[in-house]
Amino acid sequence: METSEAWPFADAPNTAVFSTKRVTAGAEPILFVGHDADDGAWQFLGTEELTEEAASVVALSTIVKIDDSVCSLADLPLGWYAQRSSESEAWRRTKSE
């Protein structure tokens, strides 16, 4: 994200979000983004299952620095998720059941 661009998310850059240690270390791409209906929490995951041992809590701005394509999901409604099979694919949005 260019520094001249406005912050796209309604949540502040320092909002805590859930990810995995592999994603935050750059070892896995972000392939799943969830925006929880019950509490508004964001999840940014790769292929690794989100377990307590694998979990990482980071600032939303950290996720944007890792992969700024997530900025296109800033308007993802509560209770929706987006996924893709690889970094080169477009995000597909789906309403959670």
pLDDT at residue 55 in the model: 95
pLDDT at residue 48 in the model: 86
Report d(CA 23, CA 11) in Å as an integer.
Answer: 20
Would you state the structure tokens that stand for residue 39, as one six-digit string? 């509490």
Domain boundaries, the chain: 16-75
Report d(CA 97, CA 87) in Å as an integer.
Answer: 25
Largest Cα span, the chain: 37
Listed in sequence order, the residues at least 6 apart from 8 whose beta carbon sits closer than 8 Å to its beta carbon are 1, 71, 74, 75
pLDDT at residue 3 in the model: 46
Low-confidence ranges of the chain (pLDDT < 70): 1-4
pLDDT at residue 2 in the model: 47
